[in-house]
Chain A
Amino acid sequence: MKRIEVLKTYKLYIGGKFPRTESGRYYQPEGRGGKALGNICQGSRKDFRNAVVAARSATSWGKRDPFNRSQILYRIAEMLEGRASQFEDELKQQGSTAAAARKEVETAIDQCIYYAGWCDKYQQTFSSVNPVASAHFNFSVYQPMGVVAVLAPEKSALAGLLGTILPIIAGGNTCVVLASESKPLCAITLSEALATSDLPGGVVNILTGNRDELLEHIGTHMDVNAVVASDVSDSHKASLRENAISNLKRAIFCKEDPAKTESPYPILATQEIKTTWHPVESSIAAGGGY
């Protein structure tokens, strides 16, 4: 007799746990050949707010040694490699050809390696010691913005998703991600990989749902420091920029496809620059340092 397959329930990923949406709603995105991909949680405003709380309580991620963050990002690559065939299957279900699916998974895993390496290098590469014209030691360093909301690329469901998330967490931010609405499967599986990769719960939170519905709530949330968004329509951009004035959260729109860009600049995009001054005693400098 043929074995009955165990079907998977798709859930959200908040604070390292896998809750269903509090709203009880679901939607059924269409996959290859018009077949429904499953009953996907339609995350609500309340889910988003819960996820922000989780992300805020995980901001000690930014205080970890960059070396440690680097190892954890590398560990994510290890976890993804083991699930490569699952991701490929899902990409195919979502409409990719076998070759494209294979390539996207390889790109995604290699992105983890790329950004793992940046964790303890961008500071060294882009910080500065500033040669002020007075007896002071003056330096500028990067510091994570805090909690970043992410509108993930709609089409590039795995490589684009990771290409957006990795630079944000490599820089020590935590994030709340709204996955691709039409292609959510890889995001959900990614959360399972993240949950087993030494990444502390709450650093990455992943919601599925409807962008139109959540956009305003993301823009106006007072405890979100920045929004990084891909594939955004002009009206959505205007809405995010307008709502961002609530707490002057930084609105960052990706022009390039995050699946294709490998660069430290997306890391810097969610960093603040802090400049510190301190007097240096000097018997030759004129006047007192104070």
Chain B
Amino acid sequence: MAKKKSSPDWGLAPAPESSPVNIAKRYDHFINGKWTKPSARKYFSTTNPATGRKLSEVAEGSKKDVDTAVKAARAAYNGAWGKMSGRERGKYIYRIARLIQERAREFAIIETMDGGKPIRESRDIDIPLAANHFFYNAGWADKLEYAFPNMPVKSLGVAGQVIPWNFPFLMAAWKIAPALATGNTVVLKPAETTPLTALKLAEVIADAGLPDGVVNIVTGAGETGAAVVNHPDVDKVAFTGSTGVGKLIQKSVANTEKKITLELGGKAANIILEDAPIDQAVEGVVNGIYFNQGHVCCAGSRLFVQENIYDEVMWKLKQRMDTLVVGDPLDKNTDVGAINSKAQLRTINRYIKEGLKGGADIYQPECELPAKGNWCPPTVFTNVAQSAVIAREEIFGPVLAVQTFRTVPEVIEKANNTPYGLSAGVWCDKGSRLFQITGALDAGVVWGNTFNKFDPTSPFGGFKESGYGREGGLHGLGAYLDLSI
């Protein structure tokens, strides 16, 4: 574990997670219920971003591999899965939930090794929440006629799903669970830097005894994802990732009748009003931006503080930042883990330079970063202009941009002045004011006196350029049913 320079010797003792895990040397695609070698026999390696060491190698999916997977999914849709009753479908999904719970510790460790997130987060949030998504959606499978009254229940067919590297296992669950509950079959493409837990999920799906071809997992990079999205026999495209790629996807399928849902970027405003409980608010700000190293589409990356409490908030925030432990993601004390990839670290560093160039003031707690791996200390910029690049663009790293405001209408205006609209936070002790602001913010998820909370029953998704469609909850089922008007 990295020792902070400012910490005296009574700092935290290392508490590394040491349970053994089983990672194969090489993984093939999971197609039609079988591990299938890539047609081009090509593999690429996946590494631990905290050490730079190779963990395993996985198959590189070609167009041909994707085609095989889509055919398997189509056969399953026309066959066993399509004909199965909702009740039986649900029972399979319940099995998946239970098997994940049984192997939760192993999955948490692999998630942390492959992606760099602190073990505390993968153990307490990612994996249990993923299991809960399967459990929640399983129960819907035989009750769909109650979800959208007077609308005939009609699944879509084969869903092509492309997911990001920030919550690899959780995103797989968010995508697969509702797709299966509503009777669709799936071809999922995990992110190239974090494919391992999706492949572990394939093991679970095989163990659960799902009919062949219901869930197919094809690994690869952008080209493999494009092959999934553009395959003519895919009826539904679900993508989570950057706004730029989301737009390209919509464009590439513009002349088809594929149904799309997009969960894209964000630049969430986190607003602290003068009467807010400041200690809790500061805790919420830290959780909002440093959770998962800021690799969170709904991260509270813009902080708005009412002017008269600015000094107090900033003093407390910096104090709190000084206590954050950056280092070994497998250490249970770690608050901020490794940056997911070298490429992402370069992007973050470019934005930090941009922030300095734009004249903002930077603060980073003194901390000793491990010699190997990808690291970025928690960073906050103050004196940030509304027009500054770091206040406008999604950084996807542990970088916070702070602005101030005087009045409520002013902060609503500033908060909404962005092309994004995924999430927002408001800290305020007065209910009438809090709900005035939450009501006026153009964002799909708004946290009042809390931040970064997720639940399978709670719909998640954005306004404006943060994408469309919802995932989770009753409304999330709509993404996988034909609700056309």
Please determine whether A131 and B457 come into contact, CB atoms closer than 8 angstroms.
yes
Could you list 18 examples of A-B contacts with CB < 8 Å?
A131-B457, A140-B459, A237-B255, A245-B251, A248-B243, A248-B246, A248-B468, A254-B485, A255-B484, A256-B485, A273-B459, A273-B475, A275-B459, A275-B460, A276-B447, A290-B280, A290-B449, A290-B450
Q: For B453, what are the chain A residues with a Cβ–Cβ distance below 8 Å?
A: 132, 134, 136, 277
Q: Which residue of A lies closest to B129 (CB)?
A: A133
Q: For A289, what are the chain B residues with a Cβ–Cβ distance below 8 Å?
A: 450
Count of inter-chain pairs, beta carbons less than 8 A: 121
List residues 131-182 of chain B with CB under 8 A from any CB of chain A: 132, 148-151
The reply to whether the CB of B13 lies closer than 8 angstroms to some CB of chain A is no
Please determine whether A274 and B449 come into contact, CB atoms closer than 8 angstroms.
no
Please determine whether A140 and B483 come into contact, CB atoms closer than 8 angstroms.
no
CA A130 to CA B454, docked complex, whole Å? 11
Tell me which of B72-80, B224-232, B402-410, B438-446 binds A: B438-446
The reply to whether the CB of A214 lies closer than 8 angstroms to some CB of chain B is no
- Sorted nearest first, the 5 A-B pairs with minimum C-beta distance are A241-B254, A132-B455, A238-B255, A245-B247, A278-B448
The reply to whether the CB of B65 lies closer than 8 angstroms to some CB of chain A is no
Please determine whether B150 and A275 come into contact, CB atoms closer than 8 angstroms.
no
Please determine whether A275 and B464 come into contact, CB atoms closer than 8 angstroms.
no
Tell me which of A26-34, A88-96, A198-206, A263-271 binds B: A263-271
Shortest Cβ gap from A61 to chain B (Å): 15
Please determine whether A248 and B474 come into contact, CB atoms closer than 8 angstroms.
no
Please determine whether B458 and A130 come into contact, CB atoms closer than 8 angstroms.
yes
The reply to whether the CB of A279 lies closer than 8 angstroms to some CB of chain B is yes
Please determine whether A133 and B475 come into contact, CB atoms closer than 8 angstroms.
no
List residues 231-274 of chain A with CB under 8 A from any CB of chain B: 234, 237-239, 241-242, 244-245, 247-248, 250, 252-256, 261, 263, 265-266, 269, 272-274
CA A265 to CA B247, docked complex, whole Å? 26
Please determine whether B474 and A128 come into contact, CB atoms closer than 8 angstroms.
yes
Report if A242-B254 is in contact (Cβ < 8 Å); known contacts: A138-B458, A277-B453, A290-B280. yes
Q: For A272, what are the chain B residues with a Cβ–Cβ distance below 8 Å?
A: 444, 463
The reply to whether the CB of B195 lies closer than 8 angstroms to some CB of chain A is no
The reply to whether the CB of B467 lies closer than 8 angstroms to some CB of chain A is yes
Please determine whether B468 and A279 come into contact, CB atoms closer than 8 angstroms.
no
Q: For B465, what are the chain A residues with a Cβ–Cβ distance below 8 Å?
A: 247-248
Q: Which residue of B lies closest to A255 (CB)?
A: B484
Q: Which residue of B lies closest to A261 (CB)?
A: B485
Q: Which residue of B lies closest to A270 (CB)?
A: B485
CA A197 to CA B463, docked complex, whole Å? 32
The reply to whether the CB of B470 lies closer than 8 angstroms to some CB of chain A is yes
Q: Which residue of A lies closest to B260 (CB)?
A: A241
The reply to whether the CB of B250 lies closer than 8 angstroms to some CB of chain A is yes
CA A265 to CA B147, docked complex, whole Å? 13
Q: How many residues of B contact A (CB 8 A)?
A: 48
CA A172 to CA B444, docked complex, whole Å? 17
CA A140 to CA B457, docked complex, whole Å? 10
Q: For A254, what are the chain B residues with a Cβ–Cβ distance below 8 Å?
A: 485
Please determine whether B444 and A274 come into contact, CB atoms closer than 8 angstroms.
yes
CA A16 to CA B445, docked complex, whole Å? 35
The reply to whether the CB of B106 lies closer than 8 angstroms to some CB of chain A is no
The reply to whether the CB of B283 lies closer than 8 angstroms to some CB of chain A is yes
The reply to whether the CB of B329 lies closer than 8 angstroms to some CB of chain A is no
Contact of A265 among B151, B447, B468 (CB under 8 A): B151
CA A272 to CA B280, docked complex, whole Å? 30
Q: For A125, what are the chain B residues with a Cβ–Cβ distance below 8 Å?
A: 149
CA A88 to CA B220, docked complex, whole Å? 62
Please determine whether A234 and B255 come into contact, CB atoms closer than 8 angstroms.
yes
The reply to whether the CB of B461 lies closer than 8 angstroms to some CB of chain A is yes
Q: Which residue of A lies closest to B264 (CB)?
A: A248
List residues 404-451 of chain B with CB under 8 A from any CB of chain A: 419, 434, 438, 443-450
Interface flags for A204-245 (1: CB within 8 Å of B; 0: not) read 000000000000000000000100000000100111011011
The reply to whether the CB of B211 lies closer than 8 angstroms to some CB of chain A is no
The reply to whether the CB of B284 lies closer than 8 angstroms to some CB of chain A is yes
Shortest Cβ gap from B435 to chain A (Å): 8
Most B Cβ at <10 Å: residue of A239, A263, A272: A272
CA A273 to CA B466, docked complex, whole Å? 13
Report if A265-B446 is in contact (Cβ < 8 Å); known contacts: A244-B250, A248-B468. no
Q: For B255, what are the chain A residues with a Cβ–Cβ distance below 8 Å?
A: 234, 237-238, 241
Q: Which residue of A lies closest to B255 (CB)?
A: A238
Q: Which residue of B lies closest to A278 (CB)?
A: B448
Shortest Cβ gap from A187 to chain B (Å): 21
Shortest Cβ gap from B314 to chain A (Å): 20
Please determine whether B448 and A277 come into contact, CB atoms closer than 8 angstroms.
yes
Please determine whether B447 and A250 come into contact, CB atoms closer than 8 angstroms.
no
Q: For B449, what are the chain A residues with a Cβ–Cβ distance below 8 Å?
A: 278-279, 290
Q: Which residue of A lies closest to B281 (CB)?
A: A290
Q: Which residue of A lies closest to B483 (CB)?
A: A265
Q: For A131, what are the chain B residues with a Cβ–Cβ distance below 8 Å?
A: 457
Please determine whether A263 and B459 come into contact, CB atoms closer than 8 angstroms.
no
Q: For B448, what are the chain A residues with a Cβ–Cβ distance below 8 Å?
A: 276-278
List residues 85-119 of chain A with CB under 8 A from any CB of chain B: none
Contact of B455 among A130, A274, A290 (CB under 8 A): A130
Interface flags for A41-72 (1: CB within 8 Å of B; 0: not) read 00000000000000000000000000000000
Q: For B370, what are the chain A residues with a Cβ–Cβ distance below 8 Å?
A: none
Please determine whether B485 and A266 come into contact, CB atoms closer than 8 angstroms.
yes
Interface flags for B265-285 (1: CB within 8 Å of A; 0: not) read 000000000000000100110
Report if A273-B444 is in contact (Cβ < 8 Å); known contacts: A130-B458, A133-B132. yes
Q: For A132, what are the chain B residues with a Cβ–Cβ distance below 8 Å?
A: 453, 455, 457-458
Shortest Cβ gap from B404 to chain A (Å): 23
Please determine whether A276 and B459 come into contact, CB atoms closer than 8 angstroms.
no
Q: For A247, what are the chain B residues with a Cβ–Cβ distance below 8 Å?
A: 419, 464-465
Shortest Cβ gap from B267 to chain A (Å): 14
Q: For B149, what are the chain A residues with a Cβ–Cβ distance below 8 Å?
A: 125
Q: Which residue of B lies closest to A242 (CB)?
A: B254
The reply to whether the CB of B473 lies closer than 8 angstroms to some CB of chain A is yes
Q: For B150, what are the chain A residues with a Cβ–Cβ distance below 8 Å?
A: 263
CA A250 to CA B473, docked complex, whole Å? 21
Please determine whether B445 and A275 come into contact, CB atoms closer than 8 angstroms.
yes
Shortest Cβ gap from B364 to chain A (Å): 25
